[in-house]
Amino acid sequence: MAKSFKTFLKHTAKDYHNQSVNPPVVRASTIIFKSMQDIRKTQDKAKKDPTGGHFDYGRQGTSTTHVLSKILKEMEESYHVFLTPTGFGSVFLAIFSVVRPGDEIIVADPTYSPTRILTQDFLKEFNIKTTFYNPHDLKTLEKNITKKTKLIFVENPGSNSFDFQDLGKIISIAKKNKVLTAIDNTWGTPYFLKPIKLGFDMSIVSATKYYSGHSDVMGGSLAVNKKVFKDVDKTNKITGLRLGPDDAYLITRGLRTLDIRLDKHEKNSKEIAEFLTKYKNLKLLYPHKKDSFNFRMWKKYYSGASGLMGLKIKSKNKNSVIKFVNSLKLFGYGYSWGGFESLALYQDKKEQGNRQYLKLANDEHLVRLHIGLEDPKDLIEDLKKSLKHIR
């Protein structure tokens, strides 16, 4: 990426052929050719350059999806980026591209609940064993590596508990044992962290979140290095995972303001974090406390922080915590995050999955907040009024 990240996002993918600032939406199931010779030429080009956007059928994509893939490749500083219909589709593609029956994988304990179900339960039916490691004790990772271990799957920070890990040490352990690595980098995006550059083999981002930024698109990206490209490419073709051109266009358009939005999410979140630290019955799950392990690991690897944070609330009255959430006026209630608006969600223990290393007492409750682009003073006032309900 020759230009700065910010300039690149504003000037990439202009369509001078159609004299359009943004690339056109090309929808196609059939890719039409003038002759059989032209089909064969395209197929030959695809064999020589499988990342070049030479398509002979709509399942492989169109020029619209190819443009998005190229933009993300530059952002990730990767060999290639595959696009999927959902963020979780990229999780699936990463794992199923490299593991086979008889293999073992090791997964971060605070991983996204559907990822946990996929690895812990679904893979068992394919004779693939999953073990989980403590994100703050990497001895639990290293001691579980065997000759059958094929992949270490990281989510950073941890889902709902927001654990930050020593990513460099994880990569070092993996390389020493010749194990592949994948990371879910949706929280940070390549704006704040570039996993492939750091040494990961695969980097996942849910494009549903900050890439789109407007809570109206589903999509996922999987950035890969050259080492795993062929395996992922083969699996991608077999599974038929394809992002539609309309969604690809909206994600491309959203990327134009990714830097501006994330900078504002971070600014707002820091103000909210400073306010929330005043409450003794709350433990803020966000990289703010400078003497903490989480802060040091965040500062070591990230250039910034996004708008997603957690609250560990101490209360013997669960209903009062739910009342706190329900009384918020400027926070919507719903799953997902990464859009322009603020969201709040009470995280029931059962929604955490069968976590091995998450220690929650009976009087401790998790609430997830996504800090949006509203005026932070209004958000603070809303939180201040609602926090009074906690008993």
- 104-108 and 149-155 beta bridge pairing: parallel
Closest CA to 250 of 106, 67, 128: 67
Q: What is the pTM of this model?
A: 0.95
Instruction: Measure Cα distances from 285 to 43, 277, 366, 379 in Å.
Output: 51, 10, 10, 18
pLDDT tens sequence for the chain (391 residues) = 657 889 989 888 877 777 788 888 999 999 999 999 999 999 999 999 999 999 999 999 999 999 999 999 999 999 999 999 999 999 999 999 999 999 999 999 999 999 999 999 999 999 999 999 999 999 999 999 999 999 999 999 999 999 999 999 999 999 999 999 999 999 999 999 999 999 999 999 999 999 999 999 999 999 999 999 999 999 999 999 999 999 999 999 999 999 999 999 999 999 999 999 999 999 999 999 888 999 999 999 999 999 999 999 999 999 999 999 999 999 999 999 999 999 999 998 777 778 888 888 889 999 999 999 999 999 999 999 999 999 9
Domains (ranges, CATH) in the chain? Answer: 5-255 (3.40.640.10), 258-387 (3.90.1150.10)
Question: 383 by DSSP, 3-state: which?
Answer: helix
CB atoms within 10 A of CB 239: 14
Neighbours of 318 (CB within 10 A): 14
Q: Return the structure tokens found at 321.
A: 């915590």
User: Quick one: which of 303, 351, 378, 369 has its CA closest to 162?
Assistant: 369
CA-to-CA separations, 318 to 92, 278, 337, 366, 367, in angstroms, rounded: 35, 21, 24, 10, 11
DSSP code for 21: S
Give the gyration radius of the chain's Cα atoms: 22
Tokens standing for 200? 């990961």
Q: Taking phi first (over 0 means left), then psi (-120 to 50 degrees means alpha), and beta for anything else, what does residue 27 get?
A: beta
Question: Is the torsion defined by CA of 338, 344, 349, 351 positive or negative?
Answer: negative
**Collapsed DSSP state (helix, strand, coil) of residue 350:** helix
Task: Give me the phi and psi of 184, to 5 degrees please.
Answer: -90, 110
- The single residue listed with the structure tokens 């699996």 is 235
Beta-bridge partners for 181: 152
